[in-house]
Amino acid sequence: MMNARIESFLEMLAAEKGVASNTLKAYRTDLQELTNFLEHQNPPLSLETALQVDIQRYFETLSNSGSSARTAARRLSCFKQFYIFLVREAIRDDDPTHLLQSPNIPKNLPKYLTEAEVNTLLEASMLLDQPRRALVAQAALEILYSAGLRISELLSLRRESISSKTQILRVYGKGGKERLIPLSEDAVKAALRLKIEDKGLKSPYLFPGRDSLHHLTRQGFDKILYDVCLKADIDPERLSPHVLRHSFASHMLAHGADLRSLQMMLGHSDISTTQIYTHVQTEHLQQIVKNYHPLARKTAKI
């Protein structure tokens, strides 16, 4: 009975809010874990009968097991949405999570490369020993840095998404949400060179895998990125597709892009997610003042 309620909730999220399949899987797991916890109480409880104190007890148990604050915050978000759904459907009269506060999550500033390091990386992408591998590396890195894509968005690009007639890229992000992102001229040229090279593969994807009917895997791309890092003399531990996305955002902001435009290009549903890059810029400005402002320097005693 209750599993049916969970499934109805997940169906609502998919239909009305376009929630991604991975998020739905995580929510199903979270709600099932809460169900199991409640059923093992004395007396046994259910999602329908649980009170605020019962949900609090669950999170105390979760904390004692060593789970992170980020995990607890995600699960509380899931539970809040679920109980709002139950109230809306007149299954419950109250929301036992209403007064529960999400734990504080320390904000980790995103790691990014300098503009000089990105230029070195792009130049190194052309130096890989295998010509086609070099074309894949150059096109992928140019697009990643030019558009700030997630790696899943990059690898799933269709061949027809790149054309000599336009420098606008149509991307389908989380939840299938569409956004349009301008591409640099170099990114378009690199992608077109790869399309010409791969024409005989007849793949629907811009970055075909070993089986041309499927796109390049994340693991396959990581190997290419590793090779480019070695050519560029950049520590591979410092670089990932997401670091390039952070580099795109940080450099755009440094050159005058506004947060709202950056939010649209990154595909963030909430601008508060985009605002983390202002912390990066603040840290950078503080370092500039420390290094160059005359009053920030230690003066020698006469």
Residues taking part in catalysis: 150, 174, 242, 245, 268, 277
Using left for φ > 0, alpha for ψ between -120 and 50, and beta otherwise, residue 184 falls in: beta
Q: Where are the alpha helices (DSSP H) in the chain?
A: 2-17, 21-39, 52-64, 69-88, 115-125, 131-147, 151-155, 185-197, 218-232, 241-254, 259-266, 271-274, 276-292
Contacts of 221 by beta carbon, 8 Å cutoff, 6+ apart: 140, 151, 155, 207, 241
Q: For the chain, state the CA radius of gyration.
A: 24
Q: Of 243, 244, 245, 241, whose CA–CA distance to 268 is shortest?
A: 245
| Burial letters 19-54, b for 16+ CB under 10 A, else e | bbeebeeebbebbeebbebbeeeeeebebeebeeeb
Other beta carbons less than 10 A from residue 107's beta carbon? 9
Tokens for 26? 């995580």
Q: Exposed e or buried b for every residue in 185-199, given b needs 16+ CB within 10 A?
A: eebbebbeebbeebe
Name, in order, each residue with C-beta under 8 angstroms of 200's C-beta and a sequence gap of 6 or more. none
Chain position carrying tokens 């670089």: 239
